[in-house]
Structure 1
Amino acid sequence: MPRSERSSLLLAGLLATAGVAHFASPKQFDATIPRALPGKPRTWTYASGAVELALAAGIAVPRTRRTAALAAAAFFVGVFPANVQMALDWRDRPAPQKAAALGRLPLQIPLVLWARSVAKNKGEGQS
């Protein structure tokens, strides 16, 4: 399996795992939803989980990989406010939890770059 194909499938797996986690354990994600968003946090949790699952499926299929990977890069930028909200809300928690919340912030950069890299690599079936 070519390296670019493996990278694509790893990104799809990461997104699929995150998407499933939104449905399996939604409470932890509800707490990260910015209060400025309208509606209930659970709705946003489920919606973002569904988007992650759709992005995973799109990246797994070579024909839709480029578009889905670009959408994933935009998604990673779009969820950044939730990570900022989490870091703010968790600033008084024990050190390991606070470190995890703060560590998510710079993690968005490599995720965006990874998704863009997947979009640039042409997989089988792409033209």
Structure 2
Amino acid sequence: MSQGAERARTALRWLLAAAYLIAGIAHLRSPQAFLAITPDWVPFPQEMILLTGICEIAGALALLTAKLRWIAGMMLAAYAVCVYPANIKHAIDSVEIGGKTLGLWYHIPRLAFQPVIIWWALFAGRVIDWPFRQRAYPERV
């Protein structure tokens, strides 16, 4: 990969780590907001919110640690898949958080952006290089 692509990966890594760190702290400080969007079928919802906050903080720190970066990218991508049902519930049920109900202007982009977050974790964790990797073409004879 080019130096520019590596700089982009580094910047994206730090930005994603900051976002997960902030989200993790929010899970621990304000669990009620996250409990409101937790689907009913999730067992032990309060404990799950605490655990997800810890996982976000651990993932953020691991993403910034060279030896743990790859596994952090994999686990944060898996995490983004696992919390998607909460985002769906938030949108479908128009869950009020902090006295506010967010409209489709928030929910549609948020739901559509989830695959980008998954890619972002994989890219930041050096699991994938796409779309920056140079494609090798076979020689034609």
Q: Which band: TM-score by shorter chain? A: 0.7 to 0.9
User: Which structure has the larger Rg?
Assistant: 2
Unmatched 5+ stretches in structure 2: 1-5, 129-141
* Aligned sequence identity (%): 29
**RMSD in angstroms over aligned alpha carbons?**
2.6
TM-score by length of 1: 0.82
Gaps of 5+ in 1: 123-127
- How many residues align? The count is 121
The answer to whether the 8 Å contact 1:19/1:49 transfers is yes
User: TM-score by structure 2 length?
Assistant: 0.75
Give the structure 1 partner of residue 117 of structure 2: 111
Q: Map residues 46-65 of structure 1 onto 2, 5 A cutoff.
A: 46-65=50-69
- Indicate conservation of the 8 Å contact 2:95/2:101, yes or no: no
Deviates more, 1:16-25 or 1:1-10: 1-10
Structure with the largest fraction of helix: 1
- CA separation in 2, counterparts of 1:91 and 1:38? 19
Query: Where does 1:88-99 land on structure 2 (aligned, <5 Å)?
Result: 88-90=92-94, 97-99=102-104
- Structure 2 match to 1:78: 82
Ranges of 4+ aligned residues in structure 1 off by more than 3 Å: none
Matched, 1:28 2:33: yes
